[in-house]
């Protein structure tokens, strides 16, 4: 299996404000091209695109291609589990939504300390083992958003996990908060293959500050900025698949082209990306990846990722002493029809859902202070 996977979290849409408005014609073209070029791995989840991603891949992939032509992965939403029977109900709904008899890979989604009590109470790993015994899934794993110490505990207590999905990119590689390197090394020490998510950090590593981009263009003028991020993750020896949440045919064309003749990074190229990470961190106020896990339960209906993106844009403009603040301009227009940052009631639901463990309430307060005063 080729090392590039199609992440179905950021699909093409016809309305950027409506995650349900998936552009099915574009998605079908992308799926067909992906398969034609010899790539087979597709990764979806229960809540992606406001619960529409699994349905979309049924229509674009499952109904249109032989089952043995692709590998399909989905995830048990640990954050949605409340009581006995939830797992069985959700799994059967997922099979119906995806239109398959079995999943090649099945993950416990977003494993962290907060959900672990529920996972243990409902015996979610035991549930996954039973699914495998029944032939309804082929491999058991989990996606992970916590520190390396907890990952070590989890893999020690549940050696039945056959792989781990980790957030790995050159910006988070040495991050004390995300601990990409430490988590990767922990998984390898336990003998687990690694699937990489967020290699481009929600698109943040596809659009860099000019001085960081200049470094990459000097090294290879023809390579896209995003290709460096995907290659960084794919160069790690125990990485099985690198997921890319592709939103357009142009992104898919780029990814499938440079990954078809994949070249691991050299030592000098890795050092260059470390310098890029330092530059990027200087410009980033809030390292949000726009996964949108925070928005579903917000009682005030705040579009948190969009506001934080505007706040980052504003912070960068101020750092560069730009003559205008595009983030502030966008925010003023946005809140004419949407909730403001100051509408936050500090319930902290968002912080419990955030895979990046961000202080979202403080970030919204900072955005309100920057934009609304």
> How many other CB atoms sit within 10 Å of the CB of residue 344?
24
347-363: average pLDDT: 92
Please determine, for residue 85, whether its predicted confidence score (pLDDT) is greater than 80. yes
Q: The domain spanning residue 118 has which CATH number?
A: 3.20.20.100
Asked whether residue 243 falls in the same domain as residue 101, the answer is: yes
Asked whether residue 8 falls in the same domain as residue 148, the answer is: yes
Residue 139, pLDDT score? 98
Please determine, for residue 321, whether its predicted confidence score (pLDDT) is greater than 90. no
Residue 97, pLDDT score? 98
What crossing angle do the helices spanning 267-283 and 225-234 adopt, rounded to 10°?
120
Domain residue limits at 207 = 4-283
Residue 306, pLDDT score? 94
Please determine, for residue 296, whether its predicted confidence score (pLDDT) is greater than 90. no
**Residue 240, domain member (yes or no):** yes
Question: Measured between alpha carbons, how far is residue 116 from residues 154, 197, 342 in Å?
Answer: 9, 20, 32
**Residue 273, domain member (yes or no):** yes
Three-state secondary structure call for residue 11: coil
Residue 324's pLDDT band, with cuts at 50, 70 and 90, is confident
Asked whether residue 64 falls in the same domain as residue 138, the answer is: yes
Least confident of 40-54, 121-135, 293-307: 293-307
Please determine, for residue 285, whether its predicted confidence score (pLDDT) is greater than 90. no
Asked whether residue 145 falls in the same domain as residue 269, the answer is: yes
Please report the sign of the dihedral spanned by the C-alpha atoms of residue 251, residue 257, residue 259, residue 263.
Answer: negative
Please state the pTM of the whole predicted model.
0.87
Residue 315, pLDDT score? 84
Please determine, for residue 103, whether its predicted confidence score (pLDDT) is greater than 80. yes
What CA–CA distance (Å, rounded) separates 141 from 60? 25
Structurally, how many domains does the chain consist of? 2
**Residue 101, domain member (yes or no):** yes
* Residues 303 and 330 sit within 8 Å (Cβ to Cβ): no
19 is written with which tokens?
């995650």
Residue 297, pLDDT score? 85
**Residue 288, domain member (yes or no):** no
Asked whether residue 212 falls in the same domain as residue 323, the answer is: no
Please determine, for residue 294, whether its predicted confidence score (pLDDT) is greater than 90. yes
Please determine, for residue 283, whether its predicted confidence score (pLDDT) is greater than 90. no
- Helical H segments across the chain, by residue range: 24-36, 48-51, 53-57, 86-98, 113-121, 124-133, 148-157, 180-189, 210-219, 225-234, 249-260, 267-283, 304-319, 326-334, 349-353, 360-372
Q: Measuring CA to CA, which residue among 47, 90, 42 is closest to residue 64?
A: 42
Asked whether residue 68 falls in the same domain as residue 156, the answer is: yes
* Residues 303 and 57 sit within 8 Å (Cβ to Cβ): no
53 is written with which tokens?
């991603």
37: left (phi over 0), alpha (psi -120 to 50) or beta: alpha
**Residue 14, domain member (yes or no):** yes
195 is written with which tokens?
């699937």
Three-state secondary structure call for residue 62: helix
Phi, psi at residue 54, to the nearest 5°?
-65, -40
Asked whether residue 182 falls in the same domain as residue 320, the answer is: no
28-55: average pLDDT: 97
């Amino acid at each position: 299996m080729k090392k590039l996977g199609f992440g179905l979290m950021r699909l093409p849409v016809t309305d950027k404000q409506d995650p349900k408005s998936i552009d099915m014609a574009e998605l079908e073209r992308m799926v067909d091209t992906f398969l034609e070029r010899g790539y087979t791995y597709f990764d979806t989840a229960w809540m992606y695109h406001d619960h529409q991603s699994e349905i979309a891949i049924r229509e674009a992939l499952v109904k249109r291609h032989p089952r043995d032509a692709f590998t399909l992965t989905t995830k048990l939403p640990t954050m949605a589990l409340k009581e006995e029977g939830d797992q069985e109900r959700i799994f059967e709904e997922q099979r119906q939504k995806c239109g398959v008899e079995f999943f090649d890979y099945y993950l416990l989604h977003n494993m962290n300390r907060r959900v672990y009590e529920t996972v243990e109470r409902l015996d979610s790993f035991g549930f996954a083992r039973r699914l495998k015994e029944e032939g309804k899934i082929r491999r058991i794993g989990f996606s992970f958003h916590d520190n390396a110490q907890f990952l070590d505990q989890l893999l020690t207590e549940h050696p039945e996990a056959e792989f781990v999905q980790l957030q790995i990119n050159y910006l988070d590689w040495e991050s004390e908060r995300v601990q990409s390197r430490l988590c990767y090394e922990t998984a390898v020490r336990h003998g687990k293959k690694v699937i990489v998510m967020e290699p481009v950090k929600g698109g943040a590593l596809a659009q860099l500050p000019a001085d960081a981009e200049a470094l990459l263009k000097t090294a290879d003028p023809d390579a896209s900025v995003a290709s460096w991020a995907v290659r960084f993750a794919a160069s790690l020896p125990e990485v099985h698949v690198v997921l890319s949440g592709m939103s357009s045919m142009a992104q898919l064309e780029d990814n499938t082209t440079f990954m078809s003749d994949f070249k691991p990074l050299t030592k000098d190229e890795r050092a260059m990306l470390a310098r890029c990470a330092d530059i990027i961190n200087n410009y980033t106020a809030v390292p949000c990846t726009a996964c949108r896990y925070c928005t579903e339960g917000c009682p005030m209906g705040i579009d948190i990722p969009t506001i934080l993106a505007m706040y980052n844009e504003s912070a960068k403009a101020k750092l560069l002493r730009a003559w205008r603040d595009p983030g502030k301009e966008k925010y003023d227009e946005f809140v004419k029809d949407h909730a403001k940052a100051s509408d936050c009631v500090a319930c902290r639901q968002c912080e419990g859902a955030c895979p990046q463990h961000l202080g979202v309430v403080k970030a919204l307060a900072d955005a309100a202070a920057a934009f609304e005063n």
